[in-house]
Amino acid sequence: MNAAPAAAPTTMRAVTATEWGGPEVLTETRVARPEPGPTEILVRVHAAGLNPIDWKSRATGGFGMWDETPVLGYDVSGVVEAVGLGVTLYAPGDEVFGMPEFPRQAGGYAEYVAAPARHFARKPASLSHVEAAALPLAGLTAWQALVETAALRPGQRVLVHAAAGGVGHLAVQIAKARGAYVLGTASAAKHDFLRSLGVDEPVDYTTTDFAETVRDVDVVLDCFGGDYGTRSLPVLRDGGTLVTLPSPDAVPAPERDIRTGFTLVEPDYAGLLGLAELVESGRLRPEVDTVLPLAEAAKAHELGESGRTRGKIVLTVA
């Protein structure tokens, strides 16, 4: 007589924030396993990417859109475990990656995530789960800022601040794929890396004032924050665009014919497909700086907050 199939587990491993504060508030524990609702899929997470919003949320509560037990993490790559009513895009066993629910709680630092099916796309076959988990939030941020907000065109000049960082190194590749001439700020030690991504003119921000040496730029992507947005206004041509990411209040209204705006990334099925197409064509590759197990999420946050990483930090889960 055949044995009955094993019941699905009702709990899962996850890293939660016991309170808002330093990395020490992150604790590995067990929480209830989610179930997919209508139009949702349940994903068994293989890897979870880290982003600055993770440690900012851990420190302050971020946007405040948290369940009773806060589980951090937005970037995930994994395998579909189950599908909810009405889902036709995926079936159990499909490999997917995405940035579900942002800015609401996604719960990526966990063994399972349940979220709308169209917040995911099929994982590019050429990427491992670790690489794919490094792509969604940073990649969509760069895609939405350059392709949609700035409407970047071939032949335009683009300045990317913090070009070796999580968003920056992907933005460089997206800009090059769209035929742009790319300048990027980073320390001299990272200039070879920038050139390998396609940067035409690396700028050492530690020894050079970009505002004095860079001119006639069509688009500036400010991934750094502080006064970088305001200092970038003079380098733009009339009719140029400045997109700032760290803060909506970073740049005063310019007196010239320059568009400025703050971009907050959104879950985006079409954008994920665009990123996947660039990956499969060999024009986009996420750089993974460090890989740590889920249990070492606090250590990963400490590393991320140091600001010394190149590319992304990823947690392995499954």
* pTM summary value: 0.94
- 171 and 128, same structural domain? no
- 299 and 238, same structural domain? no
Residue 256's pLDDT band (cuts 50, 70, 90): confident
Q: What is the C-alpha separation between 121 and 109, in angstroms, rounded?
A: 19
Question: Where in the sequence is the domain holding 153, given as residue range(s)?
Answer: 138-262
- DSSP E strand stretches across the chain: 11-17, 26-32, 40-49, 75-83, 95-98, 112-116, 120-122, 157-160, 181-186, 201-204, 217-222, 236-244, 259-262, 288-293, 312-316
Residues with Cβ within 8 Å of residue 71, at least 6 apart in sequence: 14, 15, 16, 31, 105, 107, 108, 109, 110
The number of folded domains in the chain is 2
CB atoms within 10 A of CB 40: 23
Judged against a pLDDT cut of 90, whether residue 249 lies above it is answered with no
Judged against a pLDDT cut of 90, whether residue 68 lies above it is answered with no
- 143 and 115, same structural domain? no
Question: What integer pLDDT is reported at residue 262 of this predicted model?
Answer: 83
Q: What is the C-alpha separation between 299 and 123, in angstroms, rounded?
A: 27
Q: Is residue 268 in a domain?
A: no
- 101 and 29, same structural domain? yes
Mean pLDDT of the chain: 93
Residues with Cβ within 8 Å of residue 55, at least 6 apart in sequence: 23, 301, 304, 305
Q: Is residue 270 in a domain?
A: no
Q: Which residue has the tokens 């070009």?
A: 163
In the chain, % of residues over pLDDT 70: 96
DSSP 8-state secondary structure symbol assigned to residue 147? I
Question: What integer pLDDT is reported at residue 127 of this predicted model?
Answer: 98
Residues written for the chain: 318
Question: What integer pLDDT is reported at residue 63 of this predicted model?
Answer: 80
Residue 84's pLDDT band (cuts 50, 70, 90): very high
Residue 62's pLDDT band (cuts 50, 70, 90): confident
Question: What integer pLDDT is reported at residue 121 of this predicted model?
Answer: 98
Residue 221's pLDDT band (cuts 50, 70, 90): very high
- 149 and 39, same structural domain? no
**Which CATH number covers residue 38?**
3.90.180.10
Judged against a pLDDT cut of 90, whether residue 282 lies above it is answered with yes
Question: What integer pLDDT is reported at residue 135 of this predicted model?
Answer: 98
* SS3 letters across 28-72: EEEEECCCCCCCEEEEEEEEEECCHHHHHHHHHCCCCCCCCCCEC
Alpha helices per DSSP H over 214-252 = 228-232
- 21 and 130, same structural domain? yes
How large is the average pLDDT for residues 68-78? 93
Question: What integer pLDDT is reported at residue 248 of this predicted model?
Answer: 74
Q: What is the C-alpha separation between 198 and 10, in angstroms, rounded?
A: 47
Q: What is the C-alpha separation between 125 and 69, in angstroms, rounded?
A: 34
Residue 253's pLDDT band (cuts 50, 70, 90): low
Q: What is the C-alpha separation between 132 and 2, in angstroms, rounded?
A: 39
Question: What integer pLDDT is reported at residue 259 of this predicted model?
Answer: 87
- 128 and 54, same structural domain? yes
